Copies of this chain bind each other. A is one copy, B any other.
């Protein structure tokens, strides 16, 4: 690929090309940018990655990646321990946090049930979630899973499993997104928003 650049640069390009959204061409561009900005970008990124590799672990309570264990949210007494929001990945957790409108805790599944990919309940650590939900402090489990087939399959499965715990299980509302024009929305979303209509 870049035979003349030496094995070190080739290795860097092929590793960068494995990041989501990157390919060989963008990995070469990124490598050039890194080599051009050695002190501002290359060295700091190398350090940040080494530090993340050394320090970041999954929280033993909720599964979120953090340098502390329990993570900042699980160890924050100001966060409401009565609410557990179940998300697929830490990316969804970060998205929820950016809204600034949730003050409960989380549970990161690390994936979704998938018959196709052979992902079963054991791989997702459903048992620890059921155990957490059984704690007497917990009042509600909010399922914030994607509105996809696997997401909904997982939500149904979790609802069934959580029925034994004394908690209410809720899901994020489905409907018209903020700023959404009906003309541009898919039929499924409109139909669901119609079924779930509320007094104005």
| Chain A interface residues toward B at CB < 8 A | 1-6, 8-9, 11-12, 15-16, 18-22, 26, 28-35, 38, 41-46, 48-53, 55-56, 64-68, 71-73, 89-91, 93-94, 97-98
Contact = CB atoms under 8 A, between A and B. Distances in A.
10 contacts: A5-B94, A8-B55, A9-B56, A18-B33, A20-B29, A21-B22, A32-B89, A34-B49, A43-B53, A46-B49
Given A5-B64, A6-B56, 4 more contacts: A4-B66, A5-B90, A16-B45, A46-B53
Contact of A52 (B19, B34, B68): B34
A40 to B, nearest CB: 8
Given A30-B19, A91-B29, A4 B46 contact: no
A141 to B, nearest CB: 19
Nearest to A58: B35
Contacts of A1: 94, 98
Q: Which 7 A-B pairs have the closest CB atoms?
A: A46-B49, A2-B94, A46-B50, A12-B48, A19-B30, A15-B45, A21-B26
Contacts of A55: 8
